[in-house]
Amino acid sequence: MPRPSQLILLRRFAETLLYAAAGGAAFGLAGLPAGWLSGAILLTAGAALAGRPIHVPNLFSRILFVVLGISLGAAVTPDTVLRIATWPVSMFALALAMSCSTLAIALYLQRVHGWDIMSALFAAAPGALSQALALAADANADLRSVAIVQTVRVLVLAVGLPLIIAACGMAGAPPEPVPLPSLRESAGELAVLTLLSTLAALIAYRLRMPGGLIVGSMVMSGLLHGAGYVQINLPSGIVTASFVGLGALIGSRFAGTDLARMRALAGAAFGALAVGTTVAALFAFAAAWLLSLSFADVLIAYAPGGLEAMTILAFALHLDPAFVGAHHLWRFFYVSVMMPVAVAYATRRRMTSGEQ
């Protein structure tokens, strides 16, 4: 029998899902781009900021990432494989974009808002909240300010990018419906897809791969679909529910946020977002033009948001989630390697400044 504390957490989780489902349904049924995801994010975040007890269990998050990965991998086609040859060049351009964006945001926060160099650097790290907070704690940076600036960036991009892309007519066309065997006829195929993708997700997670659960399941699902071994995907209702679940997870990041602190940091958060997004968009335009790639694909791939949110956006907008996911995984690795180097440089600079 569940303990009272567990029952409280279950009630909070149920309330969180209710907010996410209501927001997702409102946006999704209204026909807004990526509405099930963005609506869930907005209403959950709003409830969290209003002081409601928002809670998303870790077990739910892990299952959710596996389900999302399987769905994303189903979008892989032979044409996706042919385009892989252009990815290394665009990934190199992404590394340049990240370096310039981080520098520009850090300088903006220092010069305009008077932040110290360490806090500015961690807040500027593109799409790397977990690494930034871990390193920021060791460097005695302002953790709350870093977390708010990073979280606002992810939320605004997840909600705003679909609207901008759709308004500019850059969203992809829904795929032509292909006659597939019924769920009953393809139950064995679905079981194989789910089992192998889950196994790959667990292996990637155990190996501590960044985003291991979603990346592992996406890679396995992509291999199975790209090679033609399976054609079935998860039922559309499960895919939609996973969008709502991800929206609840992203929105829950605002749980416990001090509204007064949030208002005080609004200028820094939105200013940093504007600087970083502008730099990313300029590099995305150049890369798309030089490599003859879809600007919408490159824009979402270069946007300084989270791996899960940006990859799901590409899927929901009928773009190329494999391209976007690969670039955000590269972003994670690049930031993981370069952030300690930047921190060491900033530490030496701070010590030198303190001596003068």
pTM of the model: 0.81
The amino acid occupying position 353 is S
pLDDT band at 285 (very low <50, low <70, confident <90, very high): very high
Within 3-89, strands assigned E span: none
Q: How many CB atoms lie within 10 A of CB 110?
A: 16
- Highest mean pLDDT among 112-116, 139-143, 245-249, 281-285 belongs to 281-285
Asked if residues 158 and 305 have their Cβ atoms less than 8 Å apart, the reply is yes
Model pLDDT, residue 281? 94
Rg (alpha carbons) of the chain, rounded to whole number: 20
> Average per-residue pLDDT in the chain?
84
% of the chain exceeding 70 in pLDDT: 88
pLDDT over 80 (residue 35): yes
* Rounded percentage of the chain residues whose pLDDT exceeds 90: 30
CATH class, 4-173+181-355 region? mainly alpha
pLDDT tier, 355 (very low <50, low <70, confident <90, very high otherwise): very low
pLDDT tens, residue by residue, 150-189 = 888 888 888 888 888 888 888 776 665 555 555 566 778 8
pLDDT band at residue 214 under the 50/70/90 scheme: confident
Neighbouring residues of 124: CB distance < 8 A, sequence distance ≥ 6: 101, 102, 103, 104, 105, 106, 109, 272, 276
The reported pLDDT for the residue numbered 175 is: 61
What tens digit of pLDDT does each residue of 288-346 get? 999 999 999 999 999 988 777 888 888 888 888 888 988 888 888 888 778 777 777 77
The C-alpha atoms of residue 67 and residue 29 are separated, in whole angstroms, by: 22
Give the Cα-Cα-Cα angle 170, 77, 334 (nearest 5 degrees): 70
The yes-or-no verdict on residue 95 having pLDDT over 50 is yes
Residue 72 has pLDDT above 80, yes or no: yes
pLDDT of 83 higher than 90:
no
Alpha carbon separation from 137 to 122, 126, 147 (Å, rounded) = 10, 18, 11
* Overall average pLDDT of the 234-250 stretch: 89
Per-residue confidence (pLDDT) for residue 75, from 0 to 100: 78
Query: Who's near 123: CB < 8 A, 6+ residues apart?
Result: 105, 106, 109, 115, 132, 145, 146, 149, 150, 268, 272
Work out the average pLDDT over 56-75. 89
The pLDDT, as a whole number, for residue 356 is 43
Residue 104: predicted pLDDT: 94
* pLDDT in the model for residue 176: 59
Neighbours of 48 (CB within 10 A): 21
